[in-house]
Amino acid sequence: MSVTTPEERTPPATATLRSGSLGTADIAFFVVSAAAPLTVMAGVAPLAILLGGVGAPAGYLIAGITLAVFAVGFTTMSRYVKSGGAFYAYITRGLGRPVGIGAALLALLGYNGMEIGVYGLLGTASQDTVHALFGTEVPWLPFALAGLVVIGYGGYRSIDFGAKVLGVLLLAETGILVLLAGGVLIKGGAHGLSGASFAPGNVFVSGTAVVLAFAFAAFTGFESTVIYRREARSPERTVPRATYAAIGFLGLFYAFVVWIVIQAFGDEDVIAAAAKDPGGLFFSAITTYVGGWAADLMHVFIVTSVLASLLAFHNAINRYALALAEEGVLPKTLGRIHPRHRSPYVAGIAQTVLGAVVVLGFWAAGADPYGQLLLWVNTPGMIGLFVLQLLAALAVPCYFRRVRHREGALRTVVAPLVAAVLLATAIGLVITHIDLFTGASDTVNTVLIALAPAVFVAGLVLAWWLRRERPQVYAGFAAEPDERATASDSPA
């Protein structure tokens, strides 16, 4: 039986997001859940090991360090920029409104791509789980459609409800990996525990570039901490803490778990095991070191891991749509907030409908839910978010040149520029190895790569149109809450 709080019984005359609802742990749950650690480990890490060798764990550490450097400038700027527009607001304040509006459309592509494609993964993961537990073959579409309904309801409810759900699901998926780690450590691995994964000779090999591409992709969504600024308690402290906590946890946890599965098979044998059955590598390891019952649990928790990722991205998308509706760029209806749950429920409904259209469209075309719905929709979304991170890193020094502040050059210039170089390298790695992410033809890959720049250019065209036809909307774009009336100090 649900409990109705006094705040829910007597909502404000004009509903707003529920401020002060989220602490550091709550926001971190959203971010880490979006990354789907169990799914990334069981589904992708075996490929990183196969292509990069036993040095694969170091790739996740390198990616984590890179993103921590990015977070230095990013979180410093978060103390100054209070707009609900997150990435596009930061980019606008540093690089100007045209680039910011382009970034806003890119954010919609990125977050929608990262969520909607995952419904294909939900369908196949559910299929695999039912088959593993009951030996029954079932179609993927009903699972995907059921997921749309469940996630839509989760986004409709209050943000603290979502945080509690994600906390439980995240504990389940990380818990099963910790259980695997415990079994391997207690038994000493296949041939004793080895530190060869972190030896320079195994880290800096020809396959390292591929591992880094997979590793950077595994952190996708970590930057969404700032999206929850309006609902955070003491956001000047909470948002930076949650960002660093999420990056630190993911980087260390990913590296540790990949190292653990290497120990489970041994440095000499793990690559052959990954080549033989990459999808079953983690299930084989946990069956050997813990038991078959744990493998069954892992199947179930992969499904819940996917659901947690979907809910986290769904909430992020809704808040971007809400911010853009408040800006006047998207229809005002999308900016309506539920009077009781204080959630952007209309934006959530629209996002669920869009997801259903895409899922049903791929199903009607006879597309493979994993190889096409997941990979083809996720990939441009992932590239879009990487480009947003790069633009945000470039925006930091530009912003701090224009405002009075007491921050040091390390935070406002050095770290952001170093991060920009590293992020540009990561984007290059992903694009260069795009075939590993999609398994598609050169023509399809070219289209998928081109989507992000095409959407960004469309945003530049939209900025030109707004400046000409709706100058008031253009002038107020990404303004701070106390500036929205005039927004005269934003760069033009």
How far lies 44's CA from each of 127, 160, 232, 278, 285, in Å?
18, 31, 32, 8, 15
- Cα separation, 400 vs 406, in Å, equals 10
| pLDDT in the model for residue 218 | 84
Contact, 94 vs 394, CB < 8 A? yes
Residues in the chain where the model's pLDDT stays below 70: 1-15, 17-18, 84-85, 481-492
**Distant-in-sequence, close-in-space partners of 78: CB < 8 Å, separation ≥ 6:** 90, 226, 229, 235, 236, 239, 240, 243
**Residue 151: per-residue pLDDT:** 93
**Confidence at residue 7, expressed as pLDDT on a 0 to 100 scale:** 42
pLDDT at 413: 94
C-alpha span between 85 and 172 (Å, rounded): 32
What is the Cα–Cα distance from 422 to 416, expressed in whole angstroms?
10
The C-alpha atoms of residue 171 and residue 34 are separated, in whole angstroms, by 14
Q: What is the secondary structure of 176-227 as a DSSP string?
A: HHHHHHHHHHHHTTTTS---GGGSHHHHSSTTHHHHHHHHHHTTTTGGGGGG
Cα angle for residues 421, 479, 73 (degrees, 5° grid): 25
Query: Under a CB-based contact definition with an 8 Å cutoff, are residues 326 and 235 in contact?
Result: no
Q: What are phi and psi of 10, to 5 degrees?
A: -125, 75
pLDDT in the model for residue 491: 44
H helical segments located in 369-441 = 375-402, 409, 415-432, 434-438
172, with CB counted inside 10 A (0-12, 13-18, 19+), is middle
- The residues with which 232 forms a beta bridge, in sequence order, are 22
Which pair of tokens denotes residue 178? 């910790």
Q: Roughly what angle, to the nearest 10 degrees, separates helices 292-327 and 118-134?
A: 160
Contact 337, 322 (CB under 8 A): yes
Q: How far is CA 17 from the centre of its chain?
A: 22
Question: Considering all CA atoms of the chain, what is the largest pairwise distance in Å, rounded to the nearest integer?
Answer: 70
Give the angle subtended at the CA of 36 by the CAs of 113 and 127, to the nearest 5°: 80
Alpha-carbon torsion 400, 217, 184, 287, what sign? Answer: positive
C-alpha span between 97 and 93 (Å, rounded) = 8
Neighbours of 480 (CB within 10 A): 15
Q: At what angle do helices 56-78 and 415-432 cross, to 10 degrees?
A: 130
Give the position of tokens 């660093």: 244
Res 233: pLDDT: 83
Cβ–Cβ under 8 Å, residues 35 and 305: no
DSSP secondary structure of 154-183: HHHS-HHHHHHHHHHHHHHHHHHHHHHHHH
What is the predicted pLDDT for the residue at 481? 64
Residue 174: closest CA among 256, 119, 289, 293: 256
The pLDDT score that the predictor gives to residue 185 is 96
